[in-house]
Amino acid sequence: VQLQASGGGLVQAGGSLRLSCAASGRTFSSYAMGWFRQAPGKEREFVAAISWSGGSTFYAEFVKGRFTISRDNAKNTVYLQMNSLKPEDTAVYYCAADQSSWSIRRTPDYWGQGTQVTVSS
């Protein structure tokens, strides 16, 4: 599975962005998908994940109520809608794929390149 993330940019605090991750391959719908982020000087951390069917979603506590993960299996794409952005959300955001809804939140098998999100105060 090859993953291509997009949609990052510069936004003011309180604003919104939507990240997209397009996946190649015919078996996209069999993979759980997720988003991680890495801020400068910090370790990469889990943000959100969604099961292969879209029936289950998982969020880190610090984004609950602000971020929403979704997927469109017909378009081989997963999204991360980010609202009420804060300066501490500034990071490089990575999409990931794994066939396990457990592993997608911890050690995904596949990673895309990152997309920079910068939130100004």
Q: pLDDT of the chain along its 121 residues, tens only?
A: 899 999 999 999 999 999 999 999 768 889 999 999 999 999 999 999 999 999 999 999 999 999 999 999 999 999 999 999 999 999 999 999 999 989 999 999 999 999 999 999 9
Looking at this protein, which amino acid is placed at residue 8?
A: G
Between CA 106 and CA 67 the distance in angstroms is 19
The contacts of residue 19 (CB under 8 Å, 6+ apart) are 5, 6, 7, 8, 35, 79, 80, 82, 93, 95, 115, 117
